[in-house]
Structure 1
Amino acid sequence: MMAAKSTSIMPVVSKLFCSASEVILAVRNRPHVVSGGGFVVTSFINQKLVFEVDGCGVLGKKEELILKDADGNALLLIRRKGGMVEALSISRRWNGYKYNFDGSPELVFCLRDPNFSCLKNSTIKISLQSKQCTSYKEFVIMGYFPDRDCSIVEQSSGIVVAQVGIGKELKHVTKSRDLYHVVIKPGIDQAFVFGVIAILDYIYDGSTRC
């Protein structure tokens, strides 16, 4: 009898956020008028809070976001890297930092979006900087986030690690794009996925943006 193949985990923020099975989470955007925006992430099954993202209205800083766990602990600090070098570049760079035990930030991923990212055919790329992750390193966004129809895809293999959508379960509840779901494959760091989604939300003038 063959032994079951173990799930390969991809810890970016922490292995605590890597599930051995597929996970479906629901996202609900906060209105802009409530604390300046952001969104909450809950379990699709029991609506239990999993993550929340504070937008720039909460933090008082543009192009800065914070991902927190259900207890309100900061997991990821997300900032857009500016300066003259970026102004001359064909892409914008966002950095995601996790907090170490001593409270100091450590760079764990970078996202580059083209200056023409308002176009559907632009390619958004993510590269992992986390020393914990030895499996995947480069990702691209396939699809169009404002339509709530896109995926995070490992670039070399074409494997979809997370998918954003509005399934049949939600379509009968609302037609708004303020409520959608994210399917995350086994072993993938859920905190990393929602760090990426937070940036996509900001890029496309979503609830995280002032």
Structure 2
Amino acid sequence: MIPLVSKFYCSSSEVVFVVRTRPHVINGGGFVVTDCNQKVVFSVDGCGILGKEEELVVRDEKRDALLLLRGKGGIFEALSFHKIWKAYKYDFQGSKKLVFSLRRPKSCLPVKNDVGIRITTKPKVSRKDWDFEVSGYFPDRRCSIIDSQGNAVAQIGTIKKTGEQLSKDIYFVSIKPGVDQAFIVGVVAILDNIYGESTSC
């Protein structure tokens, strides 16, 4: 797979991260992503920190900004059948470059399924009009990100102790070899915001 954010975030083996959400009263919400040694690898700042609704920032372990995530609003959203998010990375001169966009169909009815959430990358990695989609239901911590050929590239799940789920505020993200981890964390951040969780106001 082509690195979307950086080849630095593509591992030759599968990695499992732990996501811990921050309450809004602590650092304005968002979440941190740690490795098996409990070292922070990524963090996500939500609108509680940034002060802007539907704007998120994915940061590396040094707190440097990797991705700016923006929900598209205004007249465009009102006329569209989809809710669209765009993810940008900063180049060495500080200008923004589109990395991926995520589309979710609008619905008046509550849907207990993430059917229709599709992701298009830049550069494209498939011949379809989308490159990845979300399968399952994020609020239950039971979902996968699959590629256009049906292969799971990442899985989100609950952490259990003696058969019981610890908390919805702590969960794991398993990422396959060669998949850009910063890209996956960006998708998780958008899902978190869509469902009004730690990154939302």
Same fold (TM over 0.5): yes
Distance 1:57-1:183 versus aligned 2 partners, 3 A rule:
same
Q: Distance in 2 between matches of 1:66 and 1:170?
A: 35
Give 1:10 deviation, angstroms.
3.0
Matched, 1:70 2:65: no
Q: Give the AA of the match of 1:114.
A: P
Kept in 2, the 8 Å contact 1:10–1:18? The answer is no
Kept in 2, the 8 Å contact 1:91–1:112? The answer is yes
Q: Helix, strand or coil: the match of 1:161? A: strand
Q: Helix, strand or coil: the match of 1:37? A: coil
Give 1:181 deviation, angstroms.
0.3
Q: Helix, strand or coil: the match of 1:75? A: strand
Where does structure 1 lack aligned partners over 5 or more consecutive residues? 1-8
Q: Distance in 2 between matches of 1:32 and 1:12?
A: 30
* Corresponding residue for residue 32 of structure 2: 40
Q: Give the AA of the match of 2:100.
A: F
RMSD between aligned residues:
1.8
Q: Helix, strand or coil: the match of 2:135? A: strand
Give 1:68 deviation, angstroms.
0.2
Q: Distance in 1 between matches of 2:162 and 2:174?
A: 13
Moved more, 50-59 or 161-170: 161-170
1:161-185 deviations in whole A, cap 9, x for unaligned? 000001445965x531000000000
Return structure 1 stretches of 4+ with deviation > 3 angstroms.
133-137, 167-172
Where does structure 2 lack aligned partners over 5 or more consecutive residues? none
* Corresponding residue for residue 119 of structure 2: 126
Q: Distance in 2 between matches of 1:15 and 1:170?
A: 37
| Identical residues among aligned pairs (%) | 55
Q: Distance in 1 between matches of 2:39 and 2:163?
A: 21
* Corresponding residue for residue 184 of structure 2: 193
* Corresponding residue for residue 44 of structure 2: 53
1:12-63 deviations in whole A, cap 9, x for unaligned? 10110000000000000001111221000000x2101100000001001000
Q: Distance in 2 between matches of 1:25 and 1:66?
A: 18
Matched, 1:204 2:195: yes
Distance 1:100-1:118 versus aligned 2 partners, 3 A rule:
farther
Matched, 1:143 2:136: yes
Q: Helix, strand or coil: the match of 1:61? A: coil
Kept in 1, the 8 Å contact 2:159–2:166? The answer is no
Q: TM-score, normalised by structure 1?
A: 0.88
* Corresponding residue for residue 103 of structure 1: 94
Alignment of 1:70-89 (within 5 A): 70-89=61-80
Kept in 2, the 8 Å contact 1:26–1:42? The answer is yes
Q: Distance in 2 between matches of 1:114 and 1:170?
A: 38
Q: Helix, strand or coil: the match of 1:12? A: coil
Q: Give the AA of the match of 1:21.
A: S
